[in-house]
Amino acid sequence: MKKMSLSNRHMIVKCLFAIHIICLAICAFLLFTLSRSEHLRWGLGYIIVWATILSALLLCFLINKQFKHWLLLKIYCVVFFLANATLGVVTQGLGLDTLFLPPKYCSDGDYLIRSRIDSEPFVNIVLLKNEGIIEKLIATYYYPTANSIKVYEDKGAIVIYCSKDNSYTDSLGCIEPLYNHLANENDIKALARELKVDIDRKSFQF
């Protein structure tokens, strides 16, 4: 198999560097614009993170003495890869969703529930809403998981259906307030009776 020509190697390195810098800029932008537990849809943010880290790794092997400032470039790529790969593994191990998108449990229309992977105590799941390319954080809940959800946006409520081993409610479901929406007490009570679920009275502010 023929060795890669110098011109081809230069072209590949330039493309990888462009990808690396663009992805790095996007990561920095997302870091300062997205709130905790918010994501780009379809896992795009995590794809960008992996592209940033892995492009540095590939450049470590492609850069040689044929390139101008090759030693500085190689040192940068090695240090960047080792530092960010280590940081990503450590923070993921500590409960922060830095490398992998938290699992999705269920959805209803534009609303979905994911596991919350962070260090905040007692918060286990989050309600997100698809807005453009962003999964926007709407609310956090204590339930360990959710089998399904039903959003009643006109009533300002969401019904979270839980598993039989749920310890937060005696029934298989509970109505919670949909944040930033007004809720009418009579409507919520009627809906709870109809669906045969509990009302989380500690959460609702009628």
Phi, psi of 13, deg, nearest 5: -65, -45
> What is the CB-side half-sphere exposure of residue 171 using CA atoms within 13 A?
14
How big is the chain, counted in residues? 206
Distance CA 190, CA 66 (A): 75
Full pLDDT tens readout for the chain, 206 residues = 345 666 777 788 888 889 999 999 999 998 888 877 788 999 899 999 999 999 999 988 888 777 777 788 888 989 999 999 998 888 877 767 788 888 889 999 899 998 875 555 556 788 899 999 999 988 888 777 888 899 988 888 888 887 655 555 555 678 888 877 777 778 888 888 888 888 766 566 55
Instruction: Specify the pTM.
Output: 0.77
- Find the DSSP H helices in the chain: 6-33, 44-62, 70-93, 185-195
User: Beta strand 39-40 with 157-161: parallel, antiparallel or unpaired?
Assistant: unpaired
Distance CA 38, CA 129 (A): 9
125 to each of 103, 106, 140, how far by Cα in Å? Answer: 10, 11, 6
Tokens of 94: 């500590």
User: Beta strand 173-177 with 198-199: parallel, antiparallel or unpaired?
Assistant: parallel
